[in-house]
Structure 1
Amino acid sequence: MSLAALRNTLRRSALNTSARAARPVFRQGAVRRLTTETPTPKKSNNNLLYGGIGAAVIGGVAFYVYTSNSDTAKEAGTAVRSGAQVAKVAANFVPTKEDYQKVYNRIAEVIDSAEGYDDGSYGPVILRLAWHSSGTYDKETKTGGSNYATMRFEPEAAHGANAGLNVARDLMEKVKQEFPWISYGDLWTLGGVAAVQEMAGPKVPWRPGRIDGFAAQATPDGRLPDASQGSDHLRNIFYRMGFNDQEIVALSGAHALGRCHHNRSGFDGPWTFSPTTVTNDYYKLLFDEKWVWKKWSGPKQLEDKKTQSLMMLPTDYVLTQDKSFKKWAKAYAADQDLFFKDFSAVVARLFELGVPTAQFTTSEPWIMANADE
């Protein structure tokens, strides 16, 4: 069976299942009660699921055995999983929003459990994991993105831009053990949503449907921003993902959170005085402070002349120098509500890069409740 034929079988199976499925009933609202119980699917949905993906699984297994351990076999295995996800969506055989809310609430607890780590929150490093696992997308080849969660594998886990993210992956692995039904891609991006919202940021629309891939699908190094570069580099990186100048500047606002670590990136220090709270201070500081090149043995970075306690990277400072970038950076410095609106929209897009629309379990993204709501 060819790979194309296998994919056709998957599509037909999903469509047939959809035709037989009863109209789904969606439960509304968010659940604040914490639990580690794994949701039990309804029996009627089991029958729909098995009917929809049985042929796909049989065909996929046969193809895998025939091709042994080849890359084609791995691709076929991923196609089976993707087709199975589509069939689940068609049959409504998926965890509910309430189930994902429980995962969100558990992540919120993890964020607040940092104590001695950095500035007392795991939020910034969890957001960075979601960002870096999504920002590898290439719109031309349609590779990378959040769908396969390939940072689980070497060498992607060891890419320079991902230094230190083992901290976040280990934290998320503990949550995964409590909720084994959630994919890594969904878990990591949901973690990014929780990080933004729990650190006083805007609501970020999100929906599940990502699947776990193989090491062969890991992305090459060089797809994430190099902080030592300028505007041309930023455009090359972000245009490849499908973003424009305004969205580049809005995404840069994530630097309101967290800090650089000399033993990871080589750079050192926080961008703002409140690195665990989402604000537009990042933009305001860019224009309000006097920035000078830091005199030290590390890589080229800037520090604020007044206190010498803050830092900006070359890719940050370019937002004040490039005419197109500067327009949007000034706008966000002047209006936090505008920044929140644009930041929410572009982060939601970032977290969906590389995910086929048919895999999503809902046509409209959800707004997850904050842990204290």
Structure 2
Amino acid sequence: MALEDNSGGSNYATMRFKPESEHGANNGLKIARDRLEKVKQEFPWISYGDLWTLAGVCAVQEAQGPKVPWRPGRIDGYDHHCTPDGRLPDGSKAQDHLRDIFYRMGFNDQEIVALSGAHAMGRCHTDRSGFDGPWTFSPTTFTNDYFKLLFDEKWSWRKWNGPAQFTDSKTKSLMMLPSDMSLTKDKEFKKHAKAYANDADLFFKEYVVSLPHSSPSSKR
């Protein structure tokens, strides 16, 4: 299946099937899928695509993030609908790669930066992505701290046996990926990242607008 055939997205929820479930960028998501499977068993009438996207927008809201409009209507597909590997961002690469990935899905530079702000939540695990550490000091709260830390902290290459990543020079407890640091180096990306660092309300507003989860015909 070609990389630019407009297939994919949350419709069909094909991450349930191999080989898509084993794509490198999906590593670790089985934990979330298994957790949501309990909900699916209790409410079998909801499609996996609707369940997963609804869980995502609820998680953002419960983490003190913005309220994301959401509509049902996704349908469950089959294994032959699985999309090819290589469609999701690689954290080890920089701005050209991000544009290649997101432009194909119809996103622009501002939307790429806004969606990157979701790194305010969670952390990387060596047994999943290979990378290690949280992006912010409050990884269970949705804030604009990711952008603020990108510019306020001094970042240096981490000296360790894992893949190339950055660590904050002050506490050495945070991390940034090469793809994250590209937001501070690329002129167009930096413009939006700076704006979000200075204005949390603007980030929340443009994050919601950039999200593909609000309708069944999601970008991907």
TM-score range, shorter chain: over 0.9
Q: Output the TM-score relative to the length of structure 1.
A: 0.57
Shift of residue 329 of structure 1? 0.2
Q: Which amino acid aligns with 1:181?
A: W
Q: Report if aligned partners of 2:133, 2:175 keep a CA contact under 8 Å in 1.
A: yes
- The match for 1:149 among 7, 10, 13 is 13
- The match for 1:344 among 170, 190, 208 is 208
Matches within 5 A, 1:218-233: 218-233=82-97
Aligned Cα RMSD in Å? Answer: 1.5
Matches within 5 A, 1:1-373: 140-347=4-211, 349-350=212-213, 352=215, 354=217
Shift of residue 155 of structure 1? 0.6
Aligned equivalents of 1:309, 1:255: Cα separation in 2: 15
Aligned equivalents of 2:215, 2:94: Cα separation in 1: 26
Q: Which amino acid aligns with 1:149?
A: A
Return the structure number with greater relative CO, CA threshold 8 A, min gap 6. Answer: 2
Aligned equivalents of 2:29, 2:214: Cα separation in 1: 17
Aligned equivalents of 2:130, 2:119: Cα separation in 1: 16
Aligned equivalents of 1:254, 1:351: Cα separation in 2: 16
Q: Report if aligned partners of 1:146, 1:352 keep a CA contact under 8 Å in 2.
A: no
TM-superposition CA deviations, 1:228-274 (whole Å, max 9, x none): 00110000000011000000000000000000001111100000000
Aligned equivalents of 2:122, 2:171: Cα separation in 1: 18
CA 1:351/1:159 → structure 2, altered by over 3 Å: closer, same or farther?
farther
TM-superposition CA deviations, 1:7-57 (whole Å, max 9, x none): xxxxxxxxxxxxxxxxxxxxxxxxxxxxxxxxxxxxxxxxxxxxxxxxxxx
Give unpaired runs (5+ residues) of structure 1: 1-137, 357-373
Aligned equivalents of 2:83, 2:19: Cα separation in 1: 9
TM-superposition CA deviations, 1:283-327 (whole Å, max 9, x none): 000000000000001000000000000000000000000000000
Q: Report if aligned partners of 1:146, 1:189 keep a CA contact under 8 Å in 2.
A: yes
Shift of residue 355 of structure 1? 5.4
SS in 1 for 2:8: coil
Aligned equivalents of 2:214, 2:115: Cα separation in 1: 12
SS in 1 for 2:156: strand
| Structure 1 segments (4+ residues) deviating >6 Å | none
Give unpaired runs (5+ residues) of structure 2: none
Q: Report if aligned partners of 2:120, 2:143 keep a CA contact under 8 Å in 1.
A: yes
Shift of residue 353 of structure 1? 6.5
Q: Report if aligned partners of 2:71, 2:214 keep a CA contact under 8 Å in 1.
A: no
Q: Give the structure 2 partner of residue 129 of structure 1.
A: none
CA 1:258/1:213 → structure 2, altered by over 3 Å: closer, same or farther?
same
Shift of residue 350 of structure 1? 4.7
SS in 2 for 1:303: strand
Q: Report if aligned partners of 1:210, 1:355 keep a CA contact under 8 Å in 2.
A: no
Q: Which amino acid aligns with 1:266?
A: G
Q: Which amino acid aligns with 2:102?
A: F
Say which one has the larger Rg: 1
Q: Which amino acid aligns with 2:58?
A: A
Q: Percent identity?
A: 72
Aligned equivalents of 2:106, 2:147: Cα separation in 1: 23
Q: Report if aligned partners of 1:148, 1:212 keep a CA contact under 8 Å in 2.
A: yes
Count of paired positions:
218
